[in-house]
Amino acid sequence: MTAMAKPQLQAAALEGDHSLRKRYLEVLSLIERLHRQALDVIKDELDRRDEREINSVQALLLFNVGDQELSAGELRSRGHYLGSNVSYNLKKLVESGYVHHERSVVDRRSVLVRLTHKGEAVRDMLAGMFERHLLSLEAVGNVGAGELETVSTSLRRIERFWIDQVRFQL
C-alpha cells in the first residue's frame, strides 16, 4: 500500500463512521419524536370523540391489551410500558371502569386484566382510527407497503441490537 493510499483509506473510514454516527443519532431522535407524535394523534382522536376521562398513554394501553387477558408483567415484557407507568395507568383504568382486574388462579401474586365494554369501545375507536390511516397512508403520506417493510425490518434489527446490549452487557 502506498504512503498516500493509507491516509485516504483512514479518512474514508472516519467519514463513514461520522455518517453512521449521524444517522444513528438521527434515528434515535426520530424514534422518540414519532412516539410522542403518535400519542398526540391519539390525544387528538380522544378529543374529537370528547373522551376526556383517559389520556393517550392509557388509550394506547387499552389498544395493546386488545381482546386478551394479560398481567401487568406481560404488558411490561412486551416492551410497551415501564413498570411504574403500567401499574399507575392500569390502576387509573380500573378506577375509571375501562379495565377489569382479578387475581390469577394459577399465581395469586399476579393480577390479570381485561377490557370492560367501556375499554373495548376505546380500543375499537383506535382500531378505526388506524384503519382510516391505512386507507390514506400511501396516497397522502406517500408510504407504501415496501417502505413499511423496510422500516419495520430496520427497527426490529435495532431492537434486537439493544436487547443484546442489555442482555449480554456489550
* Tally of structural domains, the chain: 1
Cα–chain-centroid distance for residue 6? Answer: 45
Q: For 129-143, how does the pLDDT look when each residue is reduced to its tens digit (9 = 90+)?
A: 999 999 999 999 999
Q: What confidence category does residue 9 fall into, taking pLDDT thresholds of 50, 70 and 90?
A: low
Angstrom distance (rounded) from CA 71 to CA 69: 7
Q: What's residue 63's pLDDT?
A: 94
Instruction: Confirm if 36 and 103 have CB atoms less than 8 A apart.
Output: no
Angstrom distance (rounded) from CA 65 to CA 120: 10
CATH number reported for the structural domain that contains residue 118 in this entry: 1.10.10.10
Q: For 141-162, how does the pLDDT look when each residue is reduced to its tens digit (9 = 90+)?
A: 999 999 999 999 999 999 999 9
Instruction: Confirm if 113 and 99 have CB atoms less than 8 A apart.
Output: yes
Map grid coordinates 374529537 to a residue.
48
pTM above 0.85, yes or no: no
Angstrom distance (rounded) from CA 55 to CA 108: 30
Question: What's at 41, amino acid-wise?
Answer: V
Q: What confidence category does residue 33 fall into, taking pLDDT thresholds of 50, 70 and 90?
A: very high
Domain with 70 in it: 5-167
